[in-house]
Amino acid sequence: MIPEEYIKDAPYNMSLFFYMELSELRKLKSKAMISGDIFAYRDILEEIFTNISFKLKPEEKQIIKDYFVDANNLMEGLDLLDDEEQVKAFGVIKKTLREADLKIIRFMDKYKMIFPRAKIQGGIDSIKKQYGLD
């Protein structure tokens, strides 16, 4: 049950939760990328894409989907490659996913999903405190 005081500001609260979730996904994605876990990197990046795709134009969605198709095609045959070929394939996959990641970041910026234009007295910290999100 949602407390009454949350209901009056529900649209804003949902956007705050949306941005908090995206922020958490972006942190997880960065950790996976840095650690070299390309499977987690891809999965988390796809989840971010799924979350923001409602804002994208069809041609923008297709750009990102094409990167995932390329990466997935390369990932499917990894176990059939010898060690040296796997190292090369991992490099290409990581580069492909990184390009998708940068495109997603640009789209998120374009549609104000990274730096929203919230006119808030006291900033995000005061909102978190007000709604017990600390």
pLDDT tens for 84-119 read: 999 999 999 999 999 999 999 999 999 888 865 555
Kindly calculate the radius of gyration of the chain based on its CA atoms and give it in whole angstroms.
18
Residue indicated by tokens 């789209």: 107
Mapping DSSP to helix (H, G, I), strand (E, B) and coil, where does residue 100 land?
helix
For the chain, what percent of residues have pLDDT higher than 70? 76
pLDDT tens for 31-89 read: 999 999 999 999 999 999 999 999 999 999 999 999 999 999 999 989 999 999 999 99
Number of neighbours of residue 71 by Cβ within 10 angstroms: 23
Number of neighbours of residue 3 by Cβ within 10 angstroms: 8
> How far apart (Å, rounded) are the C-alpha atoms in residues 127 and 133?
8
User: For residue 130, is pLDDT > 90?
Assistant: no
Strand stretches in 6-83, DSSP E: none
Residue indicated by tokens 């990466």: 71
How long a stretch of residues is the chain?
134
Amino acid at 96: T
> How far apart (Å, rounded) are the C-alpha atoms in residues 4 and 43?
36
